[in-house]
Amino acid sequence: MTVHLWLRAETKPLEERTALPPEHAKQLLAAGFKITVEQCPQRIFSIDNYAQIGCEIAPAHSWQESAPNEAIILGLKEFSADVTFPLSHRHIQFAHAYKEQRGWQEVLGRFKRGNGTLYDIEFLVDPEGRRVAAFGYWAGYSGCAVSVLSWIAKQNGTDLGPLSSYPDRETLLDEIRHQLAQLSQKPKIIIIGARGRCGTGALDLATALGIEVSPWDAAETASGGPFQEILEHDIFVNCVFIQQIIPPFITREMLARKTGKLQVICDVSCDPFGEYNPLPIYSQCTGFNQPTVLLENSADVSLVAIDHLPSLLPKESSEDFCTQLMSTLMTLTDIESGVWGRAKDTFLQKSAALDQQQ
């Protein structure tokens, strides 16, 4: 049976990334897939690029009425919270609902009511439990970049203004280098989770700019937080992927009595609503329109908590992500086993937790 992938338009504002760039769609078409691509003006790739390689083109959000039941709806970010109709298709996307984040019951409830299935991208894993594809590197890279830009703005007596995407990393680096050159010093950064994909991206950004870094990972955090050393740095970038409750890295009390250098915190992991959050110092995310907020009672510490940081470099991050995912997409011809089978089992387990609460 031919696999029909339906690439839907994203609904999150300023989300320019896609789960399927044209060059990867072309490979799937060559393998016998059928691909429908919805129009999406904010997508970094032109709809013409998809049409030219043989994809069917559909209006934005038309999957809701037009996608056949056997189509697999491929997206990236979660649906808008104000849309609540039941979901009857099989969906591949990030849902942010498996760690009991705010609104998780409603998200899973939509699939339950519509008899649909969620294949959460965050939980597409190999037999050893390792994720098969992630934006982690680019989240860390972009998060560290935004942190440095925020720190520069503070040195100039201002707040970081609205962000927009960059065509490539060199353009981003050139801009930051130019701004740093106007200052007499560079910040000192502590990165927690420096050995992971996300931390590696943050470390590469700092290294490219010649910024001093304290790279922390499991060994440095083994004793359990909170960690006073964070306050000795100008910027703290959290890149840890947490799957259990751990002691916090930093607390509101620490910030209230802060006397150190800390001026910017970037929570790349960005999970303020879940119980696993090791940064229990904020309760809302920031965004590209307002990338930072001043933390309450924090002696002028700004927070960056953007949950779609790789959108700062949408072309490179999309292409890298789908290159990682490509071999797994090819196995959609046998969606009941392997990575997809494990993802469905996880969905059923999480849905059972929803049943227990009702």
Instruction: Provide the greatest CA pair distance for the chain.
Output: 64
Q: Place 354 in a pLDDT band, splitting at 50, 70 and 90.
A: confident
| Secondary structure element (H or E) that encloses residue 349, with its range | helix 338-357
Partnered with residue 131 across adjacent β-strands are: 125
pLDDT of residue 335: 97
- Is 77 annotated in the active site? yes
pLDDT of residue 358: 57
178 has catalytic annotation: no
117 closest CA partner among 81, 84, 69, 64: 69
Could you report how far apart the first and last alpha carbons of the chain are, in Å? 38
Q: How far apart are CA 264 and CA 229, in angstroms?
A: 14
- φ/ψ of 167, rounded to 5, equals -70, -25
Of 15 and 99, the structure prediction assigns the larger pLDDT to: 15
The pLDDT of residue 275: 76
- Model confidence at 96, in pLDDT bands (50, 70, 90)? confident
Q: Across the strands, what pairs with 266?
A: 237, 304
Reply yes or no on whether the pLDDT at 102 is more than 80. no
Is the predicted pLDDT of residue 356 greater than 80, yes or no? no
CA distance 199 to 192: 7
Residue 171 pLDDT more than 60? Answer: yes
Q: What are 32-85's pLDDT values in tens digits? A: 999 999 999 999 999 999 999 999 999 999 999 999 999 999 999 988 877 789
- The verdict on whether omega for the bond into residue 127 sits within 30 degrees of 0, i.e. cis, is no
Select which of 12, 24, 77, 344 is catalytic. 77
For 254, the token pair is: 């620490």
Per mean pLDDT, which range of 105-109, 177-181, 236-240, 354-358 is the poorest?
354-358
Does position 355 have pLDDT exceeding 80, yes or no?
A: no
Crossing angle of helices 104-114 and 338-357, rounded to 10°: 110
**Residue 161, phi then psi, degrees to nearest 5:** -80, -175
CATH code for the structural domain at 4-123+313-357: 3.40.50.720
pLDDT at 82: 76
Decide if 83 contacts 102 (C-beta within 8 A).
no
Long-range contacts at 57-65 (CB < 8 A, ≥ 24 apart): 58/6, 60/9, 61/8, 61/9, 61/11, 62/38, 63/6, 63/8, 63/36, 63/38, 63/89
Position with higher pLDDT, 103 vs 157: 157
Residues in contact with 16: Cβ distance below 8 Å, sequence separation at least 6, in sequence order:
42, 43, 44, 165, 311, 314
Nearest to 36 by CA among 4, 11, 64: 4
Q: Is the pLDDT of residue 265 over 90?
A: yes
Other beta carbons within 10 Å of 136: 23
- Concatenated DSSP letters for 256-270? HT--SS--EEEESS-
Catalytically annotated residue among 24, 96, 154, 308:
96
Q: Give the type of residue at 291.
A: P
Q: Which of 97-111, 175-189, 281-295 is predicted most confidently?
A: 175-189
Tell me which of 6-20, 277-291, 344-358 is least confident: 344-358
Average pLDDT, the chain: 94
Query: Per the structure block, which two tokens stand in for 36?
Result: 């429908």
User: Do 149 and 179 meet the contact criterion of CB atoms below 8 Å apart?
Assistant: yes
Residue 100: its pLDDT value, please?
Answer: 72
According to CATH, what is the number of the domain 136-312?
A: 3.40.50.720
pLDDT the model gives residue 97: 84
Cα 195 to Cα 100: distance, rounded to the nearest angstrom: 27
Chain region(s) in the chain for CATH 3.40.50.720: 4-123+313-357, 136-312
Q: What's the pLDDT at 257? A: 85
Is residue 357 pLDDT above 70, yes or no? no
Predicted confidence at residue 270, as pLDDT, reads 85
- The mean per-residue pLDDT over the stretch 105-132 comes to 95
**Which has more confidence, 284 or 149?**
149
Whole-number percent of the chain with pLDDT over 90: 83
Q: pLDDT at position 339, please? A: 98
Backbone angles phi, psi at 257, to 5 degrees: -110, 20
What lies within 8 Å, CB to CB, of 100 at 6+ separation is: 274, 275
CA-CA-CA-CA torsion for 12, 84, 67, 74, nearest 10 degrees? 40
